[in-house]
Structure 1
Amino acid sequence: MKAVTKKIANRYRYAWVVLCGLVKTDFKLRYQGSFLGVIWSVLQPLMTFCVMYLVFAKFLRMSDGTPTYPVVLLMGTSAWQFFADATNVGLRSIVDRGDLLRKIHFPNYIVVVSATVGSLISLGINFIVVFIFALFNRVHFTWRVILLPLNVIELYAIALGLTLLMATMYTYFRDISHIWDVFQQLLFYAVPIIYPLSYLINTVGEPWGTTIAKVILLNPIAQTIQDIRHNFIAPETQPTVWNTLNHWQYGLIPVALSFGILALGVFVFRKHSRKFAEVM
Structure 2
Amino acid sequence: MNVIKRLTDRYRYSWVVLKSLVKTDFKLRYQGSFLGVAWSVLKPLMLFCVMYLVFARFLHMTDGTSIYPVVLLLGISSWQFVNEAITVGLRSVVDRGDLLRKIHFPNYIVVVSATVGSLISLGINFVVVIIFAIMNRAHFTWRVLFLPINVAELYLLTLGITLILATMYVYFRDVAHIWDVLQQVLFYATPIIYPLMTVQQLKGKVLGLDGETIAKLMLMNPIAQTIQDIRHNLIAPDSTPTVWNLIGNPFLRLVPLVLSLALFVLGVYVFRKFNRKFAEVM
- For normalisation by structure 1, the TM-score amounts to 0.97
Task: Pick the aligned partner of 1:220 from 222, 226, 229.
Answer: 222
Q: String of CA shifts for 1:48-82, please: whole Å, max 9, x gaps.
A: 00000000010011111211110100000000000
CA shift, 1:251, in A, is 1.5
Amino acid at match of 2:49: C
In structure 2, the residue corresponding to 1:204 is in which secondary structure? coil
| Correspondence list, 1:197-212, <5 A | 197-205=196-204, 208-212=210-214
Q: Partner of 2:81 in structure 1?
A: 82
Residue 202 of structure 2: SS of its match in structure 1?
helix
Equivalent residue, structure 2, for 1:93: 92
How far 1:88 sits from its partner (Å)? Answer: 0.2
Could you report, residue by residue, the CA deviation over 1:11-37 in whole angstroms, capped at 9, with x for unpaired residues? Answer: 200000000000000000000000000
Aligned residue identity for 2:168 = M
- The alignment partner of 2:65 has SS state of coil
Aligned residues with identical type, % of pairs:
70
Q: SS of the counterpart of 1:12?
A: helix
Partner of 1:244: 246
Q: Residue 267 of structure 1 aligns with which residue?
A: 269
Which of 207-216 and 266-275 deviates more? 207-216
Query: Residue 253 in 1 paired to residue 252 in 2?
Result: no
What's the CA shift for 1:5? 6.9
Give me the whole-angstrom Cα distance separating, in 2, the residues matched to 1:39 and 1:91.
Answer: 24
Deviation at 1:205, TM superposition (A): 4.9
- Displacement of 1:246 after TM fit? 1.2
Alpha-carbon shift at residue 204 of structure 1 (Å): 3.4
Is the alpha carbon distance of 1:222 and 1:274 closer, same or farther for their aligned partners in structure 2, counting shifts above 3 Å? same
Partner of 2:36: 37
Deviations 1:133-175 (A, max 9, x none): 0001000100000000000000001110000000000000000
Q: Which amino acid aligns with 1:181?
A: D
Letter of the 1:264 partner, please give it: L
**Paired position in structure 1 for 2:173:** 174
Equivalent residue, structure 2, for 1:186: 185
The residue that corresponds to 1:124 in the other structure is 123
Which residue identity lines up with residue 219 of structure 2 in the other structure?
Answer: L
Give the match for residue 149 of structure 1.
148
* AA at the equivalent of 1:260: A
Corresponding residue number in structure 2 for 1:10 = 9
Give the whole-Å Cα distance in 2 for the aligned partners of 1:98 and 1:255. 34
User: Is the contact made by 2:163 and 2:268 (CA closer than 8 Å) also made in structure 1?
Assistant: yes
Counterpart in the other structure of 1:162: 161
Q: CA 1:148–1:94 in structure 2 vs 1: closer, same or farther (change >3 Å)? A: same
Distance 1:205 1:68 in 2: 29
Q: TM-score, normalised by structure 2?
A: 0.96
| Poorly superposed stretches of 4+, deviation over 6 Å | none
- Structure 1 residue aligned with 2:53: 54
Deviation at 1:197, TM superposition (A): 1.0
- Would the aligned equivalents of 2:55 and 2:61 in 1 still touch at CA under 8 Å? yes
Code of the residue aligned with 2:152 in structure 1: it is I
Matched, 1:230 2:229: no
Cα deviation, 1:225-258, whole Å, max 9, x if unaligned, reads 0000000011001000000001233211100100
- Would the aligned equivalents of 2:202 and 2:210 in 1 still touch at CA under 8 Å? no
Write the distance in 2 (CA, Å) between the matches of 1:141 and 1:7: 42
User: What secondary structure sits across from 2:33 in the alignment?
Assistant: coil
**Structure 1 residue 6: Cα displacement:** 5.2
Match of 1:113 in 2: 112
Partner of 1:203: helix, strand, or coil? coil
Range with bigger deviation, 84-93 or 56-65: 56-65
Aligned alpha-carbon RMSD (Å): 1.4
Residues in 2 aligned to 1:237 and 1:97: alpha-carbon distance in whole angstroms: 44
Helix, strand or coil for the counterpart of 1:105?
Answer: coil
Amino acid paired to 2:216? K
